[in-house]
Amino acid sequence: MKPLLILLTSGTFLHAQGPLTPPGAPAPTQKSLQEIWDKIGTLENTVTGLQAQNENLTNLLLSIGQTTGAIQWQRSTVDSTCSVGDCTSLAFTLSGQPAISYYDSTNDDLKYAVLDGSIWMPTTVDSTGDVGSSTSLAFTPGGQPAISYRDDTNTDLKYAVFNGSTWALSTVASTGDVGSYTSLAFTPGGQPAISYTDSTNGDLKYAVFNGSTWALSTVDSTGHVGVFTSLAFTPGGQPAISYIDSTNNDLKYAVFNGSSWTFSTVDSTGYVVGYASLAFTPSGHPSISYADFSNGSIKYAVFNGSTWILTTVDRMGEVAGFTSLAFTLGGQPAITYYDNSNSELNYAVFNGGIWALSTVDNTGSVGSYTSLAFTPGGQPAISYTDLTNRNLKFAVRAPFAAP
C-alpha cells in the first residue's frame, strides 16, 4: 500500500471541523402535524375575524359617506319606454352582469333587461295577453335566465327560461285564480321551484319541476294565507317559504322536513301584512325582512335555533314596504325598502352593532318594487320603480363597472 500523501500549500493549515451548533444552544425540535394544523386553524380564525371587522368598518364608513355625499350611488334608467318597471326582480349573471325581470304595464308584457357593458338591453319575453306581473328572476345552474310570473288574462302561473336562442314559455298551474306573489329558486339538483298564491282558495302553494312535469302541492290552507311569498332553500336542500297569513295579519314561515311541511308564526304582534323577503344567514338560519303596518316600520326576524328574534330596522310612522333582503359578502344582513312617508328608496345594513341607514334615491317618488342583490365584488345593487316617471331604474354603490 502506498502511503497517503497530504500536500500543504504555503500558508494553508488544516483544522478539524467542530460541532455546528454552538455550546449551550437548545436542541432542535420538530412540531407534530397536529400542532401545525392547530396553528393554521388559529390563523384562519384570526383572518376570518379581521375580515368581519373590516366588513363592519367598511359598511359603517360607506354609510357615513353616503349620508354626507362622499360616497355616491350610481343610478341609471334601465327602461323608459312607456310605463314600465313594476314587479322588478334583480339577479346577476354568471359573468357578473346585472339582469332584471319586470312588467311593462303599458303593453301588458313580461320584459327582461341585462346590462351589456354600459348599455341596458331590454327584451320582451312574453306578450301573449296581459302577462308579466309578480315576476321573480333566477339563473339556472347553467347560467340561463329564468322567470316565474303571472298570466293575468288566464289567471295562470307561468315560467319562462332562455334556452340559448329563444325564450321557452310554459304554464305551471292553471286551476283557478293562481300565480300571484311568485318566488323562484332552483333546487340543489338544479330544478326550478316556485312558491305562489292560490287566490281562489286562499292557499299557499308550491310547484317544482321533476324533470318532465310540474308537481304541485298545497303548503298551507288554514285561513287566507300565502301572499307575499318568498322561497329559498335551506343549507340541507329543503324548500322554505316566508309568507303572510292575511286572516290574522301574521308573518309565517314554512319549511319542508323531508316528508311534510312544518309551520311557525314569526310575528303576530300588530298588523303585519306584507312585503316579506326570505334569506338564510351564512350559519344557515332563516331570516326575513318585512313591513309592520301598525307603526309603519321595517322589521327583521332571524331564527336563532330555538326562537325568532325580532328587531325594528326603521320606523317611519307611515306605511312602508317593498322590502328585499340579502347578505353582504361579510355575512351581514342588508335590506332595501320603500319609505312611503318620504317617497324614497332606502338601504339598511347591519354593521355588527346597529342598523346603518342611508337614502339611495329621493328624486321624485321612487323605490317601490325593490329587489336587492350583491355584485360579485360585494357592492349592493337595487332594481326599483320610478313612480314619478314610470321608469325602471337601477342603483349600485360605487365603485362598480359591469364586465
Q: Which residue has the cell 344557515?
A: 284
Taking the CA atoms of the chain, what radius of gyration do you get in angstroms?
28
Q: What is the pLDDT of residue 16?
A: 43
For 197-251, write each residue's pLDDT tens digit.
Answer: 999 999 999 999 999 999 999 999 999 999 999 999 999 999 999 999 999 999 9
For 168-192, write each residue's pLDDT tens digit.
Answer: 999 999 999 999 999 999 999 999 9
> Nearest-CA neighbor of 139 among 373, 400, 384?
373
Q: What is the 3-state secondary structure (H, E, C) of 19-52?
A: CCCCCCCCCCCCCCHHHHHHHHHHHHHHHHHHHH
In a 3-state reduction of DSSP, which class is residue 57?
Answer: helix
Q: What is the pLDDT of residue 43?
A: 62
Q: What is the mean pLDDT of residues 60-64?
A: 47
Residues in contact with 308: Cβ distance below 8 Å, sequence separation at least 6, in sequence order:
264, 266, 267, 301, 302
Q: What is the pLDDT of residue 293?
A: 87
- Name the least confident of 24-28, 107-111, 314-318, 339-343: 24-28
> Nearest-CA neighbor of 135 among 98, 184, 197?
184
Q: What is the pLDDT of residue 38?
A: 65
403, HSE (Cβ side, Cα atoms, 13 Å): 12
Cβ-contact 110, 125 below 8 angstroms? yes
Phi, psi values for residue 222, rounded to 5°: -85, 105
Per-residue pLDDT for 127 more than 50?
Answer: yes
The residue that leads in pLDDT, 398 or 323, is 323
CA 254 to CA 244: how far, in whole Å?
Answer: 11
Cβ-contact 303, 260 below 8 angstroms? no
CA 368 to CA 202: how far, in whole Å?
Answer: 25
Percent of the chain exceeding pLDDT 90 equals 73
Q: In angstroms, how far is CA 119 from the centroid of its own chain?
A: 24
For 247-277, write each residue's pLDDT tens digit.
Answer: 999 999 999 999 999 999 999 987 877 899 9
Q: What is the pLDDT of residue 4?
A: 39
For 18-42, write each residue's pLDDT tens digit.
Answer: 454 455 545 555 556 666 556 666 6
Q: Burial-class residue 386 by CB neighbours within 10 Å (0-12, 13-18, 19+).
A: buried
Is the link from the previous residue into 23 a cis peptide, with omega within 30 of 0? no
49, HSE (Cβ side, Cα atoms, 13 Å): 6
- Write the DSSP symbol of residue 60: H
Longest dimension (CA), the chain: 114
For the entire predicted model, the pTM comes to 0.83
Type of residue found at 395:
A
> Nearest-CA neighbor of 158 among 106, 222, 110, 105?
110
